[in-house]
Structure 1
């Protein structure tokens, strides 16, 4: 019995010491010295791939690509414009209020929100609608009104109609893998809508 109690006490003390060691941040002072991080990693140790918040991560990745390219024209680089676009992407996903209506051959979606969100929708939905319209399996159009933007996607193919409805507004806005190319073009100061 005493042996069991002794083992239990030892386990609790050990667990407490591990918890203290895991939460001890005494080495983290104000303005942590980020230059030390890489110097203390063991060879082959795991390295984080995500450098923080989504927009920051996207900008960080673009900067890395631009710096690695000896042909980067730094006089044309527009990271401010790319940041504005990333803010728009976040606002669209986080703040847009959508009302989806099924049509016999697809979907009609009214997207609205506050004044900034509507401005974002006006910048993003028509541009992405034109990109989506390149896919000949469906017909996609964007219509702007004073208070909202309508995205309409239709098809004659029942399987495509089901896909359109399944994707809905947010899925349609995230469809097609052109975003990274688009972002790099914007960062390089190129016309991102000509591709």
Structure 2
């Protein structure tokens, strides 16, 4: 009888140990033992790469560049002006309503929206058209009205005409890589093309 009781006690203890072991590891992948978390080394610092909303990210990047430059003249820095420009960019991209018409030699795009969007279009589109005309493959002109701005981009080259039409208003507004340099000039309080 003693040997039977010993066998039962051994089986019960073994079962309990097995149940405890399964409880600690059941459904967990290695490294997920909650009891051991307090005993492990602290986790590596995570560095996020996206500082948030687009305008905030652009401002954050500019601030880091200004702070890293020992030549920054802080008395001239104009981050409020850059922020206003970034708000204009956002309005032009998200709030503008565009009616595009294919021309034999290019595209006419009539851009409009609410009062704040029209004001942003008046500031942005003519200035960007001036940047577009720095390329000799096309001509860009604008006509500002009370209702918005017409952007007209034309070319004598059929391949360029196809490109103009494919880009459309928004692609043309986003073309050329002058924006970052322009933003740094604005942030430094230097006169870039006015928009």
Report the TM-score range of the alignment, normalised by the length of the smaller protein: 0.7 to 0.9
Q: Secondary structure at the match of 2:47?
A: coil
After superposition, give the CA deviation of every residue in 1:44-65 in whole Å (9 maximum; x if it has no partner).
Answer: x763322111100000000000
Residue 25 of structure 1: aligned partner: none
Superposition TM-score, scaled by structure 1 size: 0.78
Residue 177 of structure 1: aligned partner: 177
Q: Secondary structure at the match of 2:89?
A: helix
Residue 115 of structure 2: aligned partner: 115
Q: Secondary structure at the match of 2:109?
A: strand
Q: Secondary structure at the match of 2:99?
A: strand
Structure 2 unaligned blocks of 5 or more:
1-24, 35-41
Counterpart CA distance in 2 for 1:41 and 1:72 is 37
Superposition TM-score, scaled by structure 2 size: 0.78
Larger radius of gyration: 2
Matched residues, number: 163
Q: Secondary structure at the match of 2:121?
A: helix
CA-atom RMSD, angstroms?
A: 2.3
Q: Secondary structure at the match of 1:152?
A: strand
After superposition, give the CA deviation of every residue in 1:107-157 in whole Å (9 maximum; x if it has no partner).
Answer: 000000000000000000000000001100001001101111000000000
Residues 1:57 and 1:41: Cα distance change in structure 2 (over 3 Å): farther
Counterpart CA distance in 2 for 1:41 and 1:179 is 39
Residues 1:105 and 1:46: Cα distance change in structure 2 (over 3 Å): farther
Structure 1 unaligned blocks of 5 or more:
1-10, 22-39
Runs (4+) of structure 1 exceeding 6 A deviation are none
The question of 1:92 aligning with 2:89 is answered no
Matches within 5 A, 1:25-174: 42=44, 47-174=47-174
